Structure 1
């Protein structure tokens, strides 16, 4: 056995730890990325469903009250005006995900306008999210 064979053997032993560490890192990174993507998808789906349910509630609220108030002889114009503004805010809510949409700001405006309308109508502004049945 020559000197170069012994050096190759020691080099192989010395660098095997580095190769194993690098291999473990690559496998862990790959697995972590996969699990992180799945977790992110499920969280986004859950939060999106909750937000969609809330927006749908507000839309139904506006449609119902506009219909009810338009049946009256003396129409409360101030309330109808605020309901129209709430409806316009709901129409502004994005239906697709873009980075330049500030969803938090829009939903904050919608919630504030909803509370204003509820105050004018003298109804509770409590929105209680129910579990989705489907």
Structure 2
């Protein structure tokens, strides 16, 4: 009977070792996956944030430049354009772009894009933001 107990212990040890190794493997995989997920999340967030920042900065530069160009004109059409440019600048200044956790960021960004398209229409210029930021193949940010 002593031989039998030794065999059962060996069998139990094998089963327990299998369970232990599965548990350890799961924990190790879970921790590695969590770290990798955080790294990829940070990389994605930084990339998305940089794109949004580039877009808003472009709108700001666009509006300031056109405002300077239109200041010298006093006709009714130029005043309407100036009013629209001022509204675009006001949206930029009140944008929650410095708070990536803001619940209103997406909504505000859509309003900003719509106002930009309206201003472009009034100025008779293309409204496709990507046309303005094309760079040579060798240039990267």
TM over 0.5: yes
The alpha-carbon deviation at position 122 of structure 1 amounts to: 1.0
- Once residues 45 and 38 of structure 1 are traced to their aligned partners in structure 2, the CA distance between those partners, rounded to angstroms, is 11
Q: Distance in 2 between matches of 1:63 and 1:133?
A: 25
Aligned to 2:107: 105
The question of 1:37 aligning with 2:38 is answered yes
Taking only aligned residues, the RMSD between alpha carbons, in angstroms, comes to 2.0
Q: How many residues align?
A: 133
Q: Give distance in 1, aligned partners of 2:18 and 2:39.
A: 32
- What is the CA distance between 1:68 and its match in structure 2? 1.0
TM score, norm. by length of structure 2:
0.83
Q: Paired residue for 2:79?
A: 77
Report the TM-score, using the length of structure 1 for normalisation. Answer: 0.87
Partner of 1:9 in structure 2?
A: 10
Whose RCO is larger (CA < 8 A, sep 6+)?
Answer: 1
Q: 2:88 aligns with which of 68, 86, 89?
A: 86
Report how far residue 4 of structure 1 moved. Answer: 5.0
User: In structure 2, how many angstroms separate the alpha carbons of the residues matched to 1:22 and 1:78?
Assistant: 69
Q: List gaps (5 residues or longer) in structure 1.
A: none
Deviation of 1:97 after TM superposition, in Å, equals 2.3
Aligned equivalents of 1:133, 1:5: Cα separation in 2: 68
Q: Deviations over 1:59-99 (max 9, x none)?
A: 0011111111112243622111111111111112221222x
Aligned match of 2:116: 114
